[in-house]
Structure 1
Amino acid sequence: MNLYSPKRVAELLGNFGIHPKKSFGQNFLVDQNIIKKIIATAELKNHDKVVEIGPGLGTMTVQMAEVSKKVIAIELDNRLIPILEKNLERYDNTDIIIGDALKVDFNNIIKNEDEKQLKVVANLPYYITTPLVMKLARERQPIDRMVLMVQKEVAERFTAIPGSKNYGAISVILDFYFKAQLAFDVPNNVFYPKPKVSSSVVNLKKRDEPKIPVQDEQVFINFINKSFSSRRKTFVNNIVSIYEGSKSELIEFLAQTNVAKDARAEELSTEKFGEIFETIYNNLKVR
């Protein structure tokens, strides 16, 4: 079945009475060269086990099944399952799980998988991207790498550096858990239907340990989110409500880490956030 032609994909969906759902962010990847670049970015080998989120028609699933030991495909849209099953019927190294990736128990799915061999590859719709990445990062799932197709503006936030306009809480949190790289940009004519926005592929390689040691990861993540809660405010004014004590005391503690009272969160590196957090955590109680 030719899944690399927008015309054929449109016909196939029509035969099943399926119209792509905007609510699911369904833009099916129909370019074989882009799929090969994604697989190359993931560095898939014949011993790898892959979790694919949103396989759609199985266009990329088939290619990954050819080069991987196992592919676990998680699909939310029940309408696509007959097509997906048909396209994967020749492969005994694929499993299809029907469900919402935001609600699926990944521990149950991957409990028997080798930590250093499990990778996540996906063409993600906008609405699921950040919450899913945060879920997988914060739950500390045994995932070695994630290669994700996302909206270009999201990719720029994921990989932004301190001082840039796209640098924010998600940039710091991902840097805490992963080595994040922008792999390549993707034109919108490789999808059916064509999205109105540009896309990019990001490569998130999991760190063996978080980039910096912190005493409480959950509190640290909350601290990062609070730090960027309002870009119009200074860093101090964003975080003062989190901790007991006065603003003047907080400014004194920040001075110990050479952070000026008028500094803004977007100026601070992950390492500096860690240093600040540990200094404050050791001296002020979290509310």
Structure 2
Amino acid sequence: MGLCDIEEIRSVLGRHGFHFSKSLGQNFLTDASVPARIAAESGAEQYKNAVEIGPGMGCLTAELCGRAERVVSVELDRALLPVLDETLAAFDNVEVVQGDVLALDLAALVREKFGGAEAVACANLPYYITTPALSALLDCGAFRRITVMVQREVAQRICAEPGSAAYSAFSIYVQYRAAAEILFDVPAECFTPRPKVDSAVLRLTPLTEPPVKVGNEKQMFALVRAAFNMRRKTLVNALGPVIGGEMGKEEIAALLESVGLDARIRGERLSIADYARLSDAIDSKREGR
């Protein structure tokens, strides 16, 4: 069955009375080379077990089934379950679970379905849930590799370097937890219905240890959020909501200079290591009082 063939898609969906949902961000692939390449890059063959989020018609699911020993596919839309029963009928190593990735305990799912064995995750993420879904996939600690298709702008933001226009608090959040790499772009014309933006396939390899050591991780990310919430302000001014009750602007400026940062710098220019040093310096100053 040609699960990326536009006529086959229309035929199968028509038999089941399925209609695309804009609210669920449903766009199905019509270029068979894309799911094949995602599956090949996913690590499914190496790690044997794969969790897929949002199978749609099942084109990526089928590719994963050809590489992994076991595939668990999580689909939110109940209307797609009978479609998947048909399109995945030839595979005996797949289980479709109806559920919401944002509500599921993914670590528990991996333990239940794979007995705690190593697993990878794959997804063609709807744009509207990209950030929370990626956070859930990373935070659960259950996957050796996460390969996802997202809006190209989001992929660029995740992989952005300090000082670039795309660099954001989410860049730091992801890069603190994983090595991020854009594998390839997927133009909008590779989907039906055609989305308004292009996509990219992103590979995240979760780190066993963060890239830097920091004494107070929660505080470091509070500094990051404050800095990017006031992106156009200097860090001296942006950090006021976090530490302004303890230090005046002159003290904050002196603190920045003590860790090698210009007092006039903006938060978008700081690396993860810079934020870690700054957070540790704040703790040291508190302890010295």
TM-score of Structure 1 vs Structure 2, range by shorter chain:
over 0.9
Please report how far the alpha carbon of residue 248 of structure 1 lies from its aligned counterpart in structure 2 after TM superposition. Answer: 1.9
Residues 176 and 210 in structure 2, CA contact (< 8 A), matched pair in contact too: yes
Cα gap change, 1:281/1:95 in structure 2, threshold over 3 Å: closer, same or farther?
farther
Residues 111 and 117 in structure 2, CA contact (< 8 A), matched pair in contact too: no
Paired AA for residue 95 in structure 2:
D
CA distance in 2, matches of 1:88, 1:167: 40
Please report how far the alpha carbon of residue 115 of structure 1 lies from its aligned counterpart in structure 2 after TM superposition. Answer: 7.0
1:166-245, aligned counterparts within 5 Å? 166-243=166-243, 244-245=246-247
CA distance in 2, matches of 1:230, 1:114: 45
Partner of 2:269: 267
Residues 42 and 147 in structure 2, CA contact (< 8 A), matched pair in contact too: yes
Cα gap change, 1:260/1:71 in structure 2, threshold over 3 Å: closer, same or farther?
same
Of 209-218 and 143-152, more deviation after overlay is shown by 209-218
Q: Counterpart of 1:45 in 2: which secondary structure?
A: helix
Residues 53 and 75 in structure 2, CA contact (< 8 A), matched pair in contact too: yes
CA distance in 2, matches of 1:15, 1:140: 38
Cα gap change, 1:274/1:116 in structure 2, threshold over 3 Å: closer, same or farther?
farther
Partner of 1:160: 160
1:10-159, aligned counterparts within 5 Å? 10-45=10-45, 47-111=47-111, 113=114, 117-137=118-138, 139-159=139-159
Paired AA for residue 151 in structure 2:
Q
CA distance in 1, matches of 2:117, 2:234: 41
Q: Counterpart of 2:196 in 1: which secondary structure?
A: coil
Please report how far the alpha carbon of residue 16 of structure 1 lies from its aligned counterpart in structure 2 after TM superposition. Answer: 1.6
CA distance in 2, matches of 1:210, 1:15: 49
Paired AA for residue 262 in structure 1:
R
TM-score, normalisation: structure 1: 0.93
Q: Counterpart of 1:80 in 2: which secondary structure?
A: helix
Q: Counterpart of 2:184 in 1: which secondary structure?
A: strand
Please report how far the alpha carbon of residue 47 of structure 1 lies from its aligned counterpart in structure 2 after TM superposition. Answer: 4.2
Cα gap change, 1:282/1:88 in structure 2, threshold over 3 Å: closer, same or farther?
farther
Paired AA for residue 269 in structure 2:
E
Please report how far the alpha carbon of residue 140 of structure 1 lies from its aligned counterpart in structure 2 after TM superposition. Answer: 4.4
Instruction: Give the number of aligned pairs.
Output: 284
Unaligned runs of 5+ in 1: none
Cα gap change, 1:75/1:282 in structure 2, threshold over 3 Å: closer, same or farther?
farther
CA distance in 2, matches of 1:187, 1:249: 50
TM-score, normalisation: structure 2: 0.92
CA distance in 2, matches of 1:234, 1:49: 47
Summarize deviations over 1:138-166 as a string: whole Å, max 9, x none.
x3422111111001111110111111110
CA distance in 1, matches of 2:116, 2:109: 13
Please report how far the alpha carbon of residue 79 of structure 1 lies from its aligned counterpart in structure 2 after TM superposition. Answer: 0.2
CA distance in 2, matches of 1:98, 1:219: 37
Paired AA for residue 249 in structure 1:
E
CA distance in 1, matches of 2:152, 2:27: 15
Cα gap change, 1:116/1:18 in structure 2, threshold over 3 Å: closer, same or farther?
same
CA distance in 1, matches of 2:116, 2:260: 39
Q: Counterpart of 1:103 in 2: which secondary structure?
A: coil
